[in-house]
Chain A
Amino acid sequence: DGGITQSPKYLFRKEGQNVTLSCEQNLNHDAMYWYRQDPGQGLRLIYYSQIVNDFQKGDIAEGYSVSREKKESFPLTVTSAQKNPTAFYLCASSPTVYNEQFFGPGTRLTVL
């Protein structure tokens, strides 16, 4: 079954702790993306990667970090420097950056 998986679906962390969100795809897509969604707002791009071992900052990269060591994996770390980390995080992938994006089910992060 091809698709994008994100884990876990719900994540709770204490303030000041770093946390890593998982995103895996078996669609053989080159491009992968991380978005953040807050209530009443659309999606905002955090980081994106056009190809393995390369990634670029999106519109709201401060307080986040990523890696792209494997084609199928694009983990996102929410660091303690992120001022307001509680949000719904969505990962997406596309065959190339010029195709439609396919989204994972999302991870809801709550920082207590």
Chain B
Amino acid sequence: SQELEQSPQSLIVQEGKNLTINCTSSKTLYGLYWYKQKYGEGLIFLMMLQKGGEEKSHEKITAKLDEKKQQSSLHITASQPSHAGIYLCGAEGYAGGTSYGKLTFGQGTILTVHP
């Protein structure tokens, strides 16, 4: 089965600082999803990456998928307290396999932003 490793497990930053969260797969990914979760709530979809080298941005959040499609990064510029939460990456199977929309998730990265 596919495993996703996120790093770091937790991150504490001062408001205004930039930060990066990484998601690494043991296999080539078919699709990579980023979600954000407030504690005790559901997940909010952020972005989906599918092509090697793809990069997407929404407001101050940028997600990238490397050319080999085994690593993705989520970068937040000028962090704000509203960015605090748990960030999870989810992978939709791997190249050459059958996904049927089954997502495997990383363990999550807990982000704290101090005002």
Interface size class on chain B is 20 to 34
Known: A48-B101, A58-B102, A96-B101. A90 touches B108 (CB 8 A): no
The A-B contact count (CB < 8 A) is: 67
User: How many chain A residues touch the partner (CB < 8 A)?
Assistant: 31
Task: Give the shortest distance, in Å, between A56 (CB) and chain B (any CB).
Answer: 8
Q: Say yes or no: A42 contacts B101, CB within 8 Å.
A: no
Cα distance A78–B72 in the bound complex, in angstroms: 35
Known: A42-B4, A102-B45, A104-B42. A50 touches B88 (CB 8 A): no
Main secondary structure of the interface of A (DSSP, over half): strand
Q: Tell me which residues across on chain B come within 8 A of A48, comparing CB atoms.
A: 100-102
Central interface residue in B43, B48, B88, by most chain A CB within 10 Å: B43
| Shortest Cβ-Cβ A-B pairs, 4 listed | A97-B101, A42-B105, A103-B42, A103-B43
Interface residues of A (CB under 8 A from B): 4, 6, 31, 33, 40-45, 48, 50, 56, 58-59, 88, 90, 92, 94, 96-106, 108
